C-alpha cells in the first residue's frame, strides 16, 4: 500500500491554457474523490467516482472542468481555459466502500498546487 | 445544509500542556465526524473518526475527540502537546443519508505548540 499519489505536485500555467492532473488511488479502493482547497479554507468537494462511473459533481465544477476514471483505477482532472480563480490546491482522495461495510475515512494524496498567472 | 465550524483560526499552547481544538457541526440525522491534520505542502492525514458508540474516540499520535450530541460538538484533544503537533487541523462531517460519502470540512485551525 503506497498511498494515494498525485502528479504533478506543482503546476504553473498562464491564463487560458489547459492543464491536466493525475491521481492514483490506493489500489483496492473503489471510490475516488476530487476536492479543491484554496488558501485559508478547508477542502471543498468537486466530484467523485465509484469505480469508473462519475456519480456526483459539485456546482463548483464548471463546464471548463472534466474528470475521468476510465478503467476504475487512476483518474484525471482537466481544466480548460484556466482562469486566475482556478489557482488552488487540488486534492484527490480514495476509499473502499462496499455494500454494508467499508472504510468510512478517506485517504488523501499530497495534492497538486495550481498557480494561474 | 451540512456545515462545520471551527471557531478558532489559531490555537497556541506550550509543549507539555493539554490542547483542545474546537469543532461544531450542523447536519440532519446522526453525523459521521472526522479529524484530519495537514502539514505544510502535504495532503490531509486521517487522525480519528466518530461513527457511533462511545462518545470519546481515540486516534493517532495520542489524539482523542469527544462527541457531544447536545452541543453538536466534536472537539479534538491531546493531554500533552508536542512541538511536532504544530500543523493545520480540519474537522469534517459526513451526512448519514448522503450516498456519496463526501466530506464537508471546516475552515481549519492552525495549532502552534511552542517549546
State the pLDDT confidence band at A11, using cuts at 50, 70 and 90: very high
Quick check: A43 and B103 CB within 8 A?
yes
Q: What is the DSSP string of B77-90?
A: EESS--GGG-EEEE
Quick check: A109 and B43 CB within 8 A?
yes
Q: Is the pLDDT of residue A1 over 70?
A: no
State the pLDDT confidence band at A114, using cuts at 50, 70 and 90: very high
What does the pLDDT look like over A59-68, one tens digit per residue? 988 999 999 9
The chain-wide mean pLDDT, for chain A, equals 93
Q: What is the pLDDT of residue B40?
A: 84
What does the pLDDT look like over B25-74, one tens digit per residue? 999 888 899 999 999 877 899 999 998 889 999 999 999 999 999 999 99
Q: What distance in Å separates residue A97's CA from the closest CA in chain B?
A: 9
Quick check: B102 and A31 CB within 8 A?
no
Q: Which residues of chain A does B105 touch, with a Cβ-Cβ cutoff of 8 Å?
A: 42-44
Q: Which three cell numbers stand for residue A68?
A: 475521468
Q: What is the pLDDT of residue B98?
A: 85
The chain-wide mean pLDDT, for chain B, equals 94
What average pLDDT does this structure show over A44-64? 93
Q: What is the pLDDT of residue A101?
A: 64
Quick check: B43 and A111 CB within 8 A?
yes
**A interface with B, Cβ–Cβ below 8 Å:** 4, 6, 31, 33, 35, 40-45, 48, 55-56, 91, 93, 95, 97, 104-111, 113
Burial B46-83 (b: 16+ CB within 10 A, else e): bbbbbeeeeeebebeeebbbbbeeeebbbbbebeebee
Tell me the percentage of chain B whose pLDDT exceeds 70: 100
Q: Which residues of chain B does A42 touch, with a Cβ-Cβ cutoff of 8 Å?
A: 4, 90, 92, 105-108
What does the pLDDT look like over A81-99, one tens digit per residue? 999 999 999 999 999 887 7
- Mutation for testing the A interface, residue in B3, B65, B101, B104 having most A CBs under 10 Å: B101
Local structure of A106: helix, strand or coil: coil
Phi/psi of residue A85, nearest 5 degrees: -65, -10
Quick check: B108 and A42 CB within 8 A?
yes
Alpha-carbon distances, residue A66 vs A50, A86, B9, B32, B34 (angstroms): 16, 13, 33, 29, 28
Quick check: A56 and B100 CB within 8 A?
yes
Quick check: B106 and A42 CB within 8 A?
yes
State the pLDDT confidence band at B5, using cuts at 50, 70 and 90: very high
Quick check: A91 and B44 CB within 8 A?
yes
Amino acid at each position: 500500500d503506497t498511498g494515494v499519489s498525485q502528479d504533478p505536485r506543482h503546476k504553473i500555467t498562464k491564463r487560458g491554457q489547459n492543464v491536466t492532473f493525475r491521481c492514483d488511488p490506493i489500489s483496492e479502493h473503489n471510490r475516488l474523490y476530487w476536492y479543491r482547497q484554496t488558501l485559508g479554507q478547508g477542502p471543498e468537494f468537486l466530484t467523485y467516482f465509484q469505480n469508473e462511473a462519475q456519480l456526483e459533481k459539485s456546482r463548483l465544477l464548471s463546464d471548463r472542468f472534466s474528470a475521468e476514471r476510465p478503467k476504475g483505477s487512476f483518474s484525471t482532472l482537466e481544466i480548460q481555459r484556466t482562469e486566475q480563480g482556478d489557482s488552488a490546491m487540488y486534492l484527490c482522495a480514495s476509499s473502499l466502500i462496499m455494500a454494508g461495510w467499508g472504510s468510512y475515512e478517506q485517504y488523501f494524496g499530497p495534492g497538486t498546487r495550481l498557480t494561474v498567472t | 445544509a451540512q456545515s462545520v465550524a471551527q471557531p478558532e483560526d489559531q490555537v497556541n499552547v506550550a509543549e507539555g500542556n493539554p490542547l483542545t481544538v474546537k469543532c461544531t457541526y450542523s447536519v440532519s440525522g446522526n453525523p459521521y465526524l472526522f479529524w484530519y491534520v495537514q502539514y505544510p505542502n502535504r495532503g490531509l492525514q486521517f487522525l480519528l473518526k466518530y461513527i457511533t458508540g462511545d462518545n470519546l474516540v481515540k486516534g493517532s499520535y495520542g489524539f482523542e475527540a469527544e462527541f457531544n450530541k447536545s452541543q453538536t460538538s466534536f472537539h479534538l484533544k491531546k493531554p500533552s502537546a508536542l512541538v511536532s503537533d504544530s500543523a493545520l487541523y480540519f474537522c469534517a462531517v459526513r451526512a448519514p443519508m448522503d450516498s456519496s460519502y463526501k466530506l464537508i470540512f471546516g475552515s481549519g485551525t492552525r495549532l502552534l505548540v511552542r517549546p
